[in-house]
Chain A
Amino acid sequence: MEKVAPLPAAQAGPETVLAPWSEERRLLAAIRGGDRSAAEELVERTYSAVYASLYRLCADGDLAADLTQETYRKAWEALDGFDGRSQFFTWLYRIAYTTFLNHIRRPRRTTSLDDAPEMPDETPAADQVLSKREESERLRIAVMNLPDDLRFTVAAHFWGGLPVKEIARLENITGVAIRKRLRKAFSILESSLDEEPR
Chain B
Amino acid sequence: MNANRKADLQRKLTLAPVPKPPAGLAERIKSDIPKQLRFSAEKERQRFSRAITFNLSVAAAILVLISSTYLALQLMSRVEDEKRPGALDKITISPTRRPQLQAPAAPPPPAVVKLEKRAPKKKQVQIAEAQKNEEQKMQQRVEPVAASAPAPPPPQPSAVVQAEGRAVAAKSLAFDRADMIVMTTSPVSGKQMTYATRDDRVTALDEETTRNRVAEKTNLKLTPWAELPRETKLKILEAELARGGDRKVIARVAREAGLNEFADSIEKR
Contact = CB atoms under 8 A, between A and B. Distances in A.
Interface of A: 1-7, 9-10, 31-36, 39-40, 43-44, 47-48, 51-52, 55-56, 61-62, 64-65, 68-69, 72-73, 76, 79-80, 118-120, 122, 135-136, 139, 143, 154, 158-159, 186-187, 189-190, 193
Contacts of B36: 34
Contact of B17 (A44, A47, A120): A120
B22 interface: yes
Contacts of B26: 43-44, 47
A77 to B, nearest CB: 8
Contacts of A7: 14-16, 18
Looking at B18, B34, B43, the one whose CB has the most chain A CB atoms below 10 A away is B18
Nearest to B37: A34
22 contacts: A1-B19, A5-B17, A10-B16, A31-B37, A32-B37, A32-B39, A34-B37, A43-B26, A61-B19, A65-B22, A69-B28, A69-B32, A72-B29, A73-B32, A76-B37, A80-B39, A119-B17, A135-B12, A139-B13, A143-B13, A154-B13, A186-B9
B1 interface: yes
From DSSP, what is the main secondary structure of chain A's interface residues? helix
B37 to A, nearest CB: 5
Contact of B19 (A79, A120, A159): A120
Nearest to A31: B37
Nearest to B13: A158
Nearest to A183: B1
A51 B21 contact: yes
Nearest to B21: A51
Contacts of B22: 1, 61-62, 65
Contacts of B21: 5, 47-48, 51-52, 64-65, 68
Given A47-B26, A68-B25, A189-B9, A36 B20 contact: no
B44 interface: yes
Nearest to A61: B19
B217 interface: no
A72 to B, nearest CB: 5
Interface centre among A3, A65, A135 (most CB of B within 10 A): A65
A5 B20 contact: yes
B14 A139 contact: no
B137 interface: no
Contact of B13 (A39, A61, A120, A159): A159
Given A69-B32, A186-B1, A5 B9 contact: no
A32 B38 contact: yes
B5 interface: yes
A15 B16 CA distance: 19
B148 interface: no
Interface in B26-54: 26, 28-30, 32-34, 36-39, 43-44, 47
A135 B8 CA distance: 12
A61 B25 CA distance: 11
A131 B132 CA distance: 110
A44 B29 CA distance: 10
Contact of A35 (B30, B37, B44): B37
Given A33-B38, A35-B37, A44-B26, A9 B1 contact: no
